[in-house]
Amino acid sequence: MENKILIIGGTGKTGSRVAERLNKLNQTVRIGSRSNTPSFDWEDPSTYHEALKGMDRAYITYYPDLAVPGAKEAINTITETALKAGLEKVVLLSGKGEKEAEACEEIVANSGLNYTLVRASWFNQNFSESFFLDPILAGHVTLPMPKAEVPFVDADDIADVVVKVLLDDSYNNKTLTVTGPRKLTFREVIEEISNRTNRNIVFQTISLDKYIKSMKNAGVPDDYVWLIGYLFKEVLGNAENQTISDDIEKILGRKAVDFSEFVEKAAQTGIWNQPVVETL
């Protein structure tokens, strides 16, 4: 059966992969992002209706994170608009161990729409497509929380799970947790990437306070500094958040991607061997 599916954040790490898979399954996909037409902007609720109009289902990734101030209001408005526009179901990407995101999950659960909540651990792709890529390319990674052991999850696995639950109503009104099969510290992550790429990538630890100060000194906006601090302290700082889940295996009938498999695949693209472009 062909569905019309809106992918909010459809050019991002998980959204682009979900869109690619749905296209291959001959589903009709609309990307919801500022660069698409009609344009969708979380900051401008007047864009929500146009993006949702005519759609049957939606995958929602909120930017930058469901924990930030303003997220609850945006999720409330998008679910009300989706209900009025006649959508049958939404799948929300949430963060594993993010207490602050739970208020947004509740809004979706009480919206009157069918829904599935997908709580994800930190992504492998943060090291290849996001904020940790630049320090890796520079050969010098300095991060707090050296003891945190994280079951990093692969964006390809998240996308496979999201596609499955978007199209399969037996997952309606369920909360799933997606993690990788193995826990790694940041030092172990950088060692694996360094070994595979034959590059000397220096890893240093720093206290969270100093890390936050260095972001402020570098002119990083206050709300972003708050978010990074929250994610490190509240999410990684609590060992109970870092349990491994077997939901990926249960849903997909195969093992979750191991961090080493991710490293191999990403290394083959050459992403970690690009020349560093110096900016003035």
- Among the listed ranges 10-18, 167-175, 196-204, 238-246, the one in contact with ligand NAP (CB under 6 A) is 10-18
Q: How many helices (H) and strands (E) does the chain have?
A: 11, 8
- Among the listed ranges 12-20, 21-29, 202-210, 255-263, the one in contact with ligand NAP (CB under 6 A) is 12-20
What is the DSSP-derived secondary structure letter of residue 147?
T
Q: Which residue in 23, 25, 34, 243 binds ligand NAP (CB under 6 A)? A: 34
Size of the site for ligand NAP (CB under 6 A): 25
Query: What H or E segment, with its residue span, contains residue 116?
Result: strand 114-120
Q: Site mask, ligand NAP, residues 109-148, x = CB under 6 A?
A: -----------x-xx--x----------------------
**What sign does the CA torsion over 143, 182, 266, 189 have?**
positive
65 binds ligand NAP (CB under 6 A): yes
97 binds ligand NAP (CB under 6 A): no
Q: What is the pairing mode between strands 202-205 and 28-32? A: unpaired
Interface positions, 156-175, toward ligand NAP (CB under 6 A): none
Is the Cβ of residue 10 or residue 144 nearer to ligand NAP in the bound state?
A: 10
Is the Cβ of residue 66 or residue 166 nearer to ligand NAP in the bound state?
A: 66
Q: Which residues have C-beta within 8 Å of that of residue 66, sequence separation ≥ 6?
A: 75, 94, 95, 98, 100, 101, 104, 105
- In this structure, the dihedral spanned by the alpha carbons of residues 28, 15, 101 and 226, taken in order and rounded to 10 degrees, is -140
Is the Cβ of residue 198 or residue 261 nearer to ligand NAP in the bound state?
A: 261
- Among the listed ranges 27-35, 105-113, 213-221, 266-274, the one in contact with ligand NAP (CB under 6 A) is 27-35
Interface positions, 204-233, toward ligand NAP (CB under 6 A): none
Q: Which residue from 176, 196, 43, 42 is spatially nearest to 120, judged by alpha carbons?
A: 176
Is the Cβ of residue 126 or residue 278 nearer to ligand NAP in the bound state?
A: 126
- What is the C-alpha separation between 92 and 82, in angstroms, rounded? 13
14 binds ligand NAP (CB under 6 A): yes
- What is the C-alpha separation between 232 and 220, in angstroms, rounded? 16
Three-class DSSP category at 69: coil
Report the nearest approach of ligand NAP to the CB of residue 278 (Å). 25
Residues that bind ligand NAP (CB under 6 A): 9-15, 33-35, 40-43, 61-63, 65-66, 93, 95, 120, 122-123, 126
